[in-house]
């Protein structure tokens, strides 16, 4: 794949572990297109950068007084 080092991509189990969620939850997120993923033939892979963006996007920030 051009521009992406496939050795740095995570499979579903590793990505779910990284996000501290179950693999089933991650499969549902993929099916509903709620998270960025890379499709390599029939394989689903995730980049650490995409997972980090997902975490940042869903992080609730503290309100400063």
**Residues comprising the chain, all counted:** 65
The span from the CA of 12 to the CA of 16, in Å, is 6
Please indicate whether residue 62 or residue 28 has the higher confidence score (pLDDT).
28
Asked if residue 12 lies in contact with residue 27, where contact means CB atoms within 8 angstroms, the answer is yes
Per-residue pLDDT tens digits for 6-19: 668 999 999 999 99
pLDDT at position 1 over 70 = no
């Amino acid at each position: 794949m051009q521009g992406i080092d496939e050795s740095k991509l995570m499979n579903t189990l590793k990505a779910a572990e990284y996000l501290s969620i179950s693999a089933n939850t991650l499969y549902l997120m993929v099916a509903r297109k709620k998270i960025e993923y890379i499709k390599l033939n029939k394989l689903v892979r995730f980049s650490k950068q995409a997972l980090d963006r997902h975490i940042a996007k869903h992080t609730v920030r503290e309100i400063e007084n």
